[in-house]
Amino acid sequence: MEFSEVIAQRWATKRFEDRPVPDAVIDRLLEMIRLAPSGLNIQPWRIKLVTDPSLKEQLSAAAWDEPQVKSCSHLLVFCADTDYAALVEKLLAGMKANGVPDKVYDIVKGIAAEMAHMPPDAWFAYAQGNVFIAVSYALLGAKDLGLDSCPMTHFQPAEYARILGLPANLVPVMLCPVGYAADAAPPKWRYPKKDLLV
């Protein structure tokens, strides 16, 4: 689909049809999300993919029972990775393995070392922001693939981590239920362009 159509047609779907999305389509979506950019290309995200109805039932209760979680085909739970040291180690190994020039490697290594002095809260905010970029790819990618989705932050992250048995370094920061919309898009409204500029 044309990019301009994708951004015009994407909307936050509240109810999904009871119709599963084929795994092959979800695979294509994951391939799109994978291409999202991140600071230093550090990719501080992980996704828990949930399709099991009983698990969705539990997760729905930890998201104020909004209808998206239970009715969607696939629930993508986007997590921010808080283990900065491990991320940097993996990044530097990944750069070497992918033939990134030494000059670029050295610059990234230097910035990463400088960023290591960030307080944990600042890293979390930064990682979360990067995850939101990956979520943007998911929302737009879903529409491109003929699916609908809904970004959701109105849920209990600690409960999600507990129910899903996530490792301690992964903090759920955004839900992205995906499926076929059962309702129609309301009119899209935004502030006028003049309000965008300062």
Q: From the centroid of its chain, how far is CA 165?
A: 18
Q: Name residues contacting its own copies, limited to 87-116 (CB under 8 A).
A: 90, 94-95, 98-101, 104, 111
Give the integer Cα–Cα distance in Å for 101 and 47.
30
Interface pattern 122-161 for its own copies (x via CB under 8 A): --xxx-xxxxxx-xxx-xxx--x------x-xx-------
Instruction: Based on the shown chain and the rule CB under 8 A, indicate whether residue 32 belongs to the binding site for its own copies.
Output: yes
Length reported for the chain: 198
Nearer to its own copies, 48 or 70 (CB): 48
Nearer to its own copies, 162 or 188 (CB): 188
Instruction: Based on the shown chain and the rule CB under 8 A, indicate whether residue 39 belongs to the binding site for its own copies.
Output: yes
In this chain, which stretch among 15-23, 55-63, 67-75, 119-127 interacts with its own copies, using CB under 8 A?
119-127
Give the integer Cα–Cα distance in Å for 27 and 29.
5
Q: What is each CA distance from 197 to 2, 99, 112, 129, 133, in whole angstroms? A: 26, 40, 32, 21, 21
